[in-house]
Chains A and B, each alone.
Chain A
């Protein structure tokens, strides 16, 4: 479904992506691991159009989306959440979801590309509120929500139109340790994995082990291991370069 070929990106002297080649199929859940600055978020940012790669190509369902703006890529059914929640702060939880739905459903700016419209397996606002246990917050202004709830709403906004490819940037960061599995369960519950692929950046190896069937390990802008999660986590180079750091990072 997603083909990434020879993707490269540098910021000045820093190499954020070096010859990345990845193929992703429907019905897979993929974890991205690596220390801070290893290139995970840059990878997500290039797929979703926030950054243009220096070279290489990205195809989504056989359509070239390399260097296209975020709105175009979103319209193909690629939705994402953010490390720092990106909400409409002056609106209530319910309004945030309503407006997400109305934008996704509207005709505004498909850049003349009608066929790009998402085939929606979309959920109603009410359903999403219930599934994410946000009902009690529905009339609260987003700026007043507790951090964990903001994170959840951010993810819910990406999910409401039923994405074909869902990218989550650290879905459990800033969430209390005892809630992390609950949140992941909610997400997995809402996403129909048969038709969707999920990619998420995560520092927590327990989450990676429990929810992913494939893992990509990043180091200095390169993918140093790609395969079944269990194998990647026991890969010597990953142990040395990724896990050595992450076990220090997460003092959980």
Chain B
């Protein structure tokens, strides 16, 4: 039996790839940015399903972006694939190390300690003149698999394709993971850690695993963002950036791997219009939406789609 979510994900990705040929530049850019955000939030929903909210995932988002951005500086290579790989390796290593500490924490302590780590990075980057301090620096991606695509005229479309492909792949794998026995333990840990331990599994290890996965996704999102925007700065690690990811997670809900992409699309679209027409009420809008969702739709916007189904089956 074909999995509905996987089918839908693949159709959506294909549609994007095809429509990328006809969409105007600004729309392609908007979708690219949304997919980057969505990839980060995909990791956040895995954490949320494990019962954790991180107010510091900007750490990995920023690390991913900087490792991609400094690839030319440190390795002399500005190949897109290589940049993504460095982001994966760096975020996986750091999150694996920090995970030993963070897996002991829950609830607000987890949120606050993650925040502290992301602010450490912010503090370091904003003082390091070598990397442009608070201004950051521009990122140029010259080649892909060694092929020089920058001046081909298709650069934006190729970056868009890679982003779409990465997002689709992450979505696909995450869906399979969440369905697997190992993945389902996330919900178990969230529900009752004590019972998980008394069935013979280590809640700390489950949290650690999911933390690393979510960090790598955030790193990938950050690297793709650096590549598509072409600029990075320490703000990516500031706590309000992490706050935006938390916002999208809460808004979209955690029940489906498609929710984060749906949420990010909505978020970036509304944001670009809000910036244009009423820059001083954008956060007001965010805050109000968030309150309304917490009060009336505790499972996020995605539950609007699934709710009907549940009623019918009962």
B195 lies within 8 A of chain A by Cβ:
yes
B205 lies within 8 A of chain A by Cβ:
yes
A108 lies within 8 A of chain B by Cβ:
yes
- Separation of A104 and B185 alpha carbons in the complex (Å): 12
Which residues of A are found within 8 Å of B185, using beta-carbon distances? Answer: 99, 103, 108
Q: At the interface, is chain B mostly helix, strand, loop or mixed? A: helix
Name which of B113-121, B156-164, B186-194 contacts chain A.
B186-194
- Separation of A104 and B181 alpha carbons in the complex (Å): 11
With both beta carbons as reference points, the residue of chain B lying nearest to A117 in the complex is identified as B200
Which residues of B are found within 8 Å of A74, using beta-carbon distances? Answer: 197-200
B306–chain A nearest beta-carbon distance, Å: 14
The answer to whether B206 and A99 have CB atoms under 8 Å apart is: no
Q: Which of B190, B194, B205 contacts A86 (CB 8 A)?
A: B194
Number of A-B contacts (CB under 8 A): 73
Which residues of B are found within 8 Å of A35, using beta-carbon distances? Answer: none
- Separation of A157 and B190 alpha carbons in the complex (Å): 17
Which residues of B are found within 8 Å of A75, using beta-carbon distances? Answer: 200
B186–chain A nearest beta-carbon distance, Å: 11
The answer to whether A102 and B184 have CB atoms under 8 Å apart is: yes
Which residues of A are found within 8 Å of B198, using beta-carbon distances? Answer: 48, 70-71, 74, 79-80, 86, 158
Name which of A87-95, A177-185, A238-246 contacts chain B.
A87-95
Q: Which of A69, A88, A109 contacts B191 (CB 8 A)?
A: A88
- Separation of A100 and B188 alpha carbons in the complex (Å): 9
With both beta carbons as reference points, the residue of chain B lying nearest to A118 in the complex is identified as B200
B202 lies within 8 A of chain A by Cβ:
yes
The answer to whether B199 and A90 have CB atoms under 8 Å apart is: no
B208–chain A nearest beta-carbon distance, Å: 10
A234 lies within 8 A of chain B by Cβ:
no
Which residues of A are found within 8 Å of B205, using beta-carbon distances? Answer: 108-109
Which residues of A are found within 8 Å of B188, using beta-carbon distances? Answer: 88, 91, 99, 103
- Separation of A75 and B199 alpha carbons in the complex (Å): 8
Q: A-contacting residues of B (Cβ < 8 Å)? A: 181-182, 184-185, 187-188, 190-192, 194-202, 205-206
Q: List 6 A-B contacts (CB under 8 A).
A: A71-B202, A86-B198, A89-B192, A108-B185, A157-B195, A158-B198
Q: B-contacting residues of A (Cβ < 8 Å)? A: 48, 69-71, 74-75, 79-80, 86-91, 99-100, 102-104, 106, 108-111, 118, 157-158
